[in-house]
A and B are shown apart, each in its own frame.
Chain A
Amino acid sequence: MSQTFQCGENTALVGYVYDECEASERAAIDAHVAICAACAAELAALQSTRTSLVSWTPPESNLGFQIVRQPQPVFEHRTEPPKRQTSESRPWYGRPVPAWAQAVAATLIFAAGLSLGVVRGIMPTAATPGTVPAAASQSAPSATDLQALERRLRAEIARIQPTSAGVRAEAPVASTSEEQLLARVRTLIEESERRQQRELALRTAQVMRDVDSQRQVDLAQIQNSFGQIEGLTGAEVREQRQMLNYLIRASEQR
């Protein structure tokens, strides 16, 4: 810790305000503040800002957490009876699936879908004889392939969700044309673009806010620096004036 105080040493002022500086440094700051208006004002402002902070209190909240002993320790609220069920006490099908298992499952499903697409692209299917040339089906999945895939997926979804099966069965699956598919793809792309634009706007606003905040801090520092320079200059002028007066008095005595 420094024994002397340099004018404009704001971090030292912070130590002074929070009473975390050595006695010698405190004395040096006291002596300086007595002659430097800028530092005195800065010190007073810091202290009064601290005083205002006292008024900010968090809202009362009903906490009362506690750990309760179960097959596996769980957090409970003290005023409520235990409600949570640990994963160990549930049947296997009710337990949460770990993230790694979900990732593996997703990869397997994706790989299966991919291989299905490759096989379909190489081999002409029985569902589309004569409608698509063999050469075209080898290069890329055609609209008919996509329709067949969609039909199969719809059938599977209808089987999985029996409650909505009736509604889905009424959907005109066969009439889904290429235009409709394109329209759906376009809609998805538009939604994605809108989402990206929203995110971009949010990020931009965040960056602008950060820049503005930093700018304010920089401006404050510049302002303080000017004040300190003024204070220093004033002090020097006073000292020189005193020295001059002393010299004049000394020369007059001779």
Chain B
Amino acid sequence: MNWTDEDLVTRSRGGDLESFNQLILRWERPIYALAYRVIGREEDARDVCQETFLRAFRALPGFKGQAKFSSWVYRIALNLCRDWMRRQRRTPTVQMPEGADPEELAAEGGPAESIEDLVSRRELSAVVAEAMALLPEEQRTAIVLKEYHGMTFQEIADLQGCPLSTVKTRLYQGLSVLRRHLEKTGRTPQLVKRV
């Protein structure tokens, strides 16, 4: 049976551990992706992801369902990312593979995507990661939440604790910096197939 998040939260609060594990299974990938894009380090993103669910589990008795479970978990994850950034006092360093292994690439791509397209996409991915690391944390987070998690301006404003207009400004400034970086590195923004 497909339980909703709210159902699973209710059952978890009633002591059903398996229900909480279902919630983890449902949300661990998005939370990991969020942490990775904000922090830029795979291992640390995994740690943040794990710590997020551990904190959520411990705080579950205090969660009264005033917000969506996903919003609540996102907020915990973002706070942890912010703590990590403060602790490390450094800009995110994105780990990118040194070279491209054709076999690995072939396995990664879909049937319609050629090796050349894959290599090109990987290179573009590295450039985008570099450019994202240049952004201030607030702008990077706003872009990540909007672009990769499909949140509305209002949801981002609630998560970041700022007015809606500030979210739009952050998005505009962040996208402008990204555009300039892409142009500077010879990666003029172009149409890329959505994957």
Residues of A within 8 A of B (CB): 10-11, 13-15, 18, 20, 45-46, 48-59, 61, 63-69, 73, 75, 202, 206, 209-210, 213, 216-217, 220-221, 224
Contacts and interface: CB of A to CB of B under 8 A. Distances in A.
Nearest to B49: A63
A50 B147 contact: yes
Given A65-B24, A65-B28, A217-B173, A48 B191 contact: yes
B182 A52 contact: yes
A73 to B, nearest CB: 7
B136 A11 contact: no
Interface in B1-41: 17, 20-21, 24-25, 28-29, 32-33, 36-37
Contacts, number: 130
A52 B176 contact: no
B190 A56 contact: no
A15 B189 contact: no
A216 B180 contact: yes
Nearest to B188: A48
B175 A49 contact: yes
A63 B28 contact: yes
Given A20-B152, A61-B42, A67-B24, A75 B192 contact: no
Contacts of A59: 36, 42, 95
A217 to B, nearest CB: 5
B48 to A, nearest CB: 12
Contact of A73 (B17, B129, B180, B190): B17
Contact of B192 (A54, A209, A220): A54
Contacts of B191: 48, 51
B-side interface mostly? helix
Nearest to B191: A51
B173 A55 contact: no
A57 B121 CA distance: 10
A216 B37 CA distance: 22
B159 interface: no
Contacts of A45: 179, 189
Contact of A75 (B25, B50, B129, B165): B50
Contact of A15 (B29, B32, B168): B168
A61 B95 CA distance: 13
A59 B42 CA distance: 7
Contacts of A66: 21, 24-25
A53 B36 contact: no
A58 B190 CA distance: 21
Nearest to A10: B172
Given A20-B152, A65-B28, A53 B143 contact: yes
B146 A18 contact: yes
Given A51-B190, A54-B192, A220-B177, 7 more contacts: A51-B192, A52-B182, A69-B17, A75-B53, A213-B135, A217-B176, A224-B176
B158 to A, nearest CB: 15
4 tightest Cβ-Cβ pairs between the two chains A and B: A48-B189, A11-B168, A58-B36, A56-B128
A11 B42 contact: no
Contacts of A53: 128, 143, 147-148, 178
Contact of A216 (B148, B177, B182): B177
A55 B169 CA distance: 23
Contact of A63 (B46, B90, B124, B152): B46
